[in-house]
Amino acid sequence: MKKLLEITLGIVTSIGGFLEVGSLATSAQAGAAFGYQLIWAIVLGTICLIFLVEMSGRLAAVSKQPLAGAMRDRFGYPFFLIPLVAMSLLGVLVLASELGGLSLALQLVTGASFPWWAPLGAFAAWLLLWKGTFSIIEKGASLFGLITLVFVVAAFRLHPDWTRAAAGALPSMPRHEPMRYWFIAVSIMGASIAPYLLYFYSAGAVEDKWNETDVPVNRITATFGMSFGGALSVAVLVVAALVLVPRGIRIERFDQIALILTPIMGRSGFFLFAAALGIACFGAMLEIALSVAYLVSQGFGWKWTEDARPRDVARFSLVYTATLIGGAIIVIVGVDPLAITLMSMALTSALLPIAIVPFLILMNDPHFVGQHRNGWISNTVVCAIVGLAFVLAVVSIPLELMGS
């Protein structure tokens, strides 16, 4: 019975925490530009994420080491610097895009000008990290994040042609604008397969003192939680497809995404969208700042835990503070938030091998995971999908940059 409760909570936290500005923006863009055609990118990204999240949990439970620490143990220094620097910088970029999303949400609700909200939002996130504990943050963000289910409600209300949607789950060639198609596909995959999630998840598992008995439960929560989460992204895509395509609206600016719930839900749809966006982004900001702090602190062997007073984990606290400041600066300077979001998602895909290849090696090393090594399915699926994301990214990012 207790296990059932654990599983349910795990799944619910995964759903609530799934959507953030990256998945929202990329799914909405995909729906508006290509209808159901890009659902396969969400499916592939989600499948890969399920495997990766399950692996993070398994690593933490069996080796009692979080991912970043295990990487330094296994690969040593200076090799470890490569994922450290790449993922930290990427983290700051993605955090900036989340902060941009949060700022937009606040702007939608209050009508006040855009760059004002960034420092406030960053400060609010910082305050919660400064004062909160890991449990409160993880569960709070995820439970509030359940508001994103509004997209599922909206999708059903629109009575989509589910057979046509299902057809979109199979990869197909674009009928128009191929460069844009592949770029969005790459961004969708980068939005789903976010490395920061893995550092956060494995650190959380260690904070919660998982052990080998938690491995089967983790498998279930990862599979169902991430699947339902992926379904949320699909819901956003479907809503965008059905609302924006007939109106001929292409998403060129961030605030156009806000329109997607209004036709179905009227004025409350507008506020629901703002609330969903704001909460999802805020939760993501907390996770990303913590992930970078975990990555750096574990890599250098500093004390790290969200459950202590900041003065007891001084360097750890300094890192998440610096990450939030870095993200805030990028937004305050006035970089276009939609552009940052799409580019950081695509960059994530391009940099995935740096994060994932060492991870896969770890998961096959009996010295770390004992008998709980990866089976050939996990290895093959992850390699294939990450490889695909990487190749697509390397090809489409330069083309997109040249085209715009």
Partner 1 sequence: MGVRNINVELLLDKEVKDSEGRSAGRIEEIRARRDGEGIIVEAYHLGPQALLERLAAPVMRLSLMRVLGLHRHSHSLRVPWDQLDLSDPERPVLRCPREELVKLAR
Partner 2 sequence: MEIAVVRDLLDKQLIDRDGEALGRADGVVMAYSADAPPRIMYFELGAQTLARRLPRPFQGVLAWLGHRLSPRGSSPYRLEVSRIIQLGRTIKIDIDGTRSAARETERWVRDHIIGRIPGS
Please give the residue ranges that form the binding site for partner 2 (CB under 8 A): 63-65, 69, 72-73, 76-78, 80, 130-131, 300-304, 309-312, 314-315, 317-318, 367
- What backbone phi and psi angles, to 5 degrees, belong to 45? -60, -45
Q: Report if residue 156 touches partner 1, rule: CB under 8 A.
A: no
Exactly one of 8, 79, 164, 211 binds partner 1 (CB under 8 A); that residue is 79
Nearest residue (CB) to partner 2, 81 versus 112: 81
Residues 6+ apart with CB under 8 A from 219: 54, 58
Residue 73 binds which entry of partner 1, partner 2, none, CB below 5-8 Å type-dependent: partner 2
Quick one: CA dihedral 51, 19, 23, 336, positive or negative? negative
Each residue 236-255 as x (binds partner 1 by CB under 8 A) or -, in order, gives --------------------
d(CA 57, CA 97): 27
Q: How far apart are CA 215 and CA 221, in angstroms?
A: 10
* C-alpha span between 386 and 350 (Å, rounded): 9
Nearer to partner 2, 76 or 246 (CB): 76
Select 215 or 335, whichever has its Cβ closest to partner 2.
215
Q: In angstroms, rounded to a whole number, what is the distance separating the alpha carbons of residues 144 and 224?
A: 19
Does 300 bind partner 1 (CB under 8 A)? Our answer is: no
> Is 165:36 a contact under the CB 8 Å cutoff?
yes
Report the C-alpha gap between 325 and 367 in whole angstroms: 38
| Shortest spacing between CB 223 and partner 1, in angstroms | 25
Q: How many CA atoms lie within 13 A of 174 on its CB side?
A: 16
Closest to partner 2 by CB, 130 vs 162, is 130
Per rule CB under 8 A, count of chain residues that contact partner 1: 7
* Residue 361 binding target from partner 1, partner 2, none, CB below 5 to 8 Å by type: partner 1
What is the DSSP code string of 217-229?
A: HHHHHHHHHHHHH
Q: Up-side HSE of residue 65: CA atoms within 13 Å toward CB?
A: 21
Q: 69 is in the binding site of which of partner 1, partner 2, none (Cβ under 5 to 8 A by kind)? A: partner 2
Residue from 6, 7, 9, 75 that binds partner 1 (CB under 8 A)? 75
Expressed in percent and rounded to 5, the helix, strand and coil fractions of the chain are: 80, 0, 20
Task: Please say which residue, 264 or 381, places its beta carbon nearer to partner 1.
Answer: 381
User: Which residue's CB is nearer to partner 2, number 82 or number 120?
Assistant: 82
Q: How far is the CB of 57 from partner 2 (least distance, A)?
A: 17
Eight-state DSSP code of residue 170: S
Nearest to 9 by CA among 133, 143, 134: 143
Shortest distance, CB of residue 383 to partner 1, whole angstroms? 11
**Is the CB of 172 or the CB of 364 nearer to partner 1?**
364
74 binds partner 1 (CB under 8 A): yes
Site string for partner 1, 349-388 (x = CB under 8 A): ------------x--xx-----------------------
Q: 24-53: which residues touch partner 1 (CB under 8 A)?
A: none
**Residue 375: is it exposed, middle or buried by C-beta count within 10 angstroms (0-12/13-18/19+)?**
exposed
Least Cβ distance, residue 145 to partner 2 (angstroms): 26
Closest CA to 187 of 27, 391, 48, 387: 27
The residue ranges that bind partner 1 (CB under 8 A) are: 74-76, 79, 361, 364-365
